[in-house]
Amino acid sequence: MLKRTIHLVLITLILLPILVLMMLSFGEQWIFPDVFPQNFNTKTWLKLFSSDSEISKSLGLSVLISLSVAFLSTLMAFVFSKVISTSKYKNQYIKLAYLPYILSPVVLGVLWHYFAVVLKLNASFFGVVLAQFLICFPFGFIILSSFWSRHIYDIQNLSFTLGASTYFSFKRIIFPLAKPILGLCFFQCFLISWFDYGLTQLIGGGQIKTLTLSVFNFIKEANIFLAAIASLLLLFPPLLLLFFNKKIKFKRSLINTH
Amino acid sequence: MRLELKNISKSFQQKPVLSSVNLQLNENQVISVLGKSGSGKTSLLKIIAGLEKPDSGDVFLNQKSILNKKVNQRQIVYLFQEALLFPHLNVFDNIAFGLQAQKVEATEIESRVKAILKEIALSDHSSKFPLQLSGGEKQRVAFARAIIIEPQVLLLDEPFGALDVETRENMQKLFLKLIKQYGISALFVTHDLKEALMIGDQIAKIDHGHLRTYQNKKDFIQDEKSGVKEEIDFWTKIQEFE
């Protein structure tokens, strides 16, 4: 009974804010002390699909930035973690990768801002991508370093002795084995980028309007209905991540034989 | 086929692991290499397979040096202590791996894999994943995966070490049957005296990086340093005690 009550309370706590956001996004004229908005319609949602919609532009830009950051970080982290896995300074490199998390992101942003200005990358798409990459790459490196164990090297060596070339071994053995952790790394980097506000604001100089920035702008403008839509769109990737996480966990249980 | 090792030496952090090792393995021959842990057995196999470079000496296959040959071009398969099956591939794909790497036609792969699955009595397990197999079954698949590509030399690094006594004996019999059937030469590394005598046509003993090859099993048994005498004495005492 207690377990059931706790479950119910937890589910309510998780779903209630989403429910309020849903009501706000479909609602119109929600004035105190009304419990619910006076009207429900799809007007605000339809704005999203209009050609000059700021939200849809922000959504597109956010997706592009986050995909670029996640792809670049995962790829580079995979290559670097492989190279460093055989180095005698491996542990030192991993400790070094924690540096961006010891520093405050704002401090890191200010430091990067100087270089972004010098390199003329401030207020640009690439400047923001690079700034976010500086946070995501070490994160990916830390995650992927755990993949390159002795067991993986033994499996790779075995595939070589069975006649596999480096490419064939990568295609048939290493990549499929790394896929779950690569997926995890990709989505985590995507989320870090997706929810980033400080760095994007600082490096983007207000010119790069991602969805997170839009949410804050709508709140500042007291446009709670558009802010609700933007917030719901922001929630979509974490939900997707939860769905994929389940799949990844299942696959890992099949693979873990040792 | 003839594998020859000439004056192979190897050190790790200035500690010698192999000292001027010489060895000759002939066609269809199985040499058991007997040695304790840390005697240099694994390093010896890894050098032959190309997974490690010796500090000095050379490795010849059919009178040609293979020292600078890539691992995947040596036609020497190394079987690790663990079965090391590819966890994401089923039994069929694990066995077919080497043939696929050699770009053998799909129909031929299918018939050859099916035939070897029958040999190792795992025909019903072809679609199972390694996680669903027992230790003995995993080792049988690992053998089949190595043998199916008909390597020039098979290197085995204590492959039965982790198995229970009964499975171990069955695996030894299966190994001998398959190795003769496919005409493969093998170096079989073990620390088990009985296993070495049962498997090898010839015995070699490695101790602190020094390898001694005996002409035949009789020479080995008669050698006081072989450890056979101690083993016999032990069992005699046990019998007397009973």
Residues of chain A with CATH 1.10.3720.10: 54-255
- For residues B102 and A163, the answer to whether their CB atoms sit within 8 Å is yes
> Chain A contact for B9, CB < 8 A?
no
Closest-CA distance of chain A to residue B204, Å: 24
pLDDT tens-digit readout, B21-75: 999 999 999 999 998 888 889 999 999 999 999 999 999 999 999 999 999 999 9
A72 half-sphere exposure, CB direction, 13 A CA radius: 17
Chain B residues within 8 A of A176 when measuring between CB atoms: 88
Residue of chain A whose alpha carbon sits nearest to that of B52: A157
pLDDT tens-digit readout, A89-113: 999 999 999 988 888 777 888 888 8
> Chain B contact for A256, CB < 8 A?
yes
Of A195, A197, A148, A177, give the one whose Cα is nearest residue A248. A177
Which value, in Å, is the radius of gyration of the alpha carbons in chain A? 22
A54-255 homologous superfamily: MetI-like (1.10.3720.10)
Q: What's chain B's average pLDDT? A: 91
Q: Nearest-5° angle of CA A225, CA A227, CA A232?
A: 100
Give the number of other Cβ atoms within 10 Å of residue A195's Cβ: 16
Least confident of A82-91, A199-208, A239-248, B124-133: A239-248
Q: Could A160 and B71 be called an inter-chain contact, meaning their C-beta atoms sit closer than 8 Å? A: yes
Look at residue B99 and tell me whether its pLDDT is greater than 70.
Answer: yes
Closest-CA distance of chain B to residue A53, Å: 46
Look at residue A50 and tell me whether its pLDDT is greater than 80.
Answer: no
- Going from N- to C-terminal start, the domains of chain B cover 2-85+151-241
- For residues B183 and B28, the answer to whether their CB atoms sit within 8 Å is yes
The CATH fold assigned to B2-85+151-241 is Rossmann fold (3.40.50)
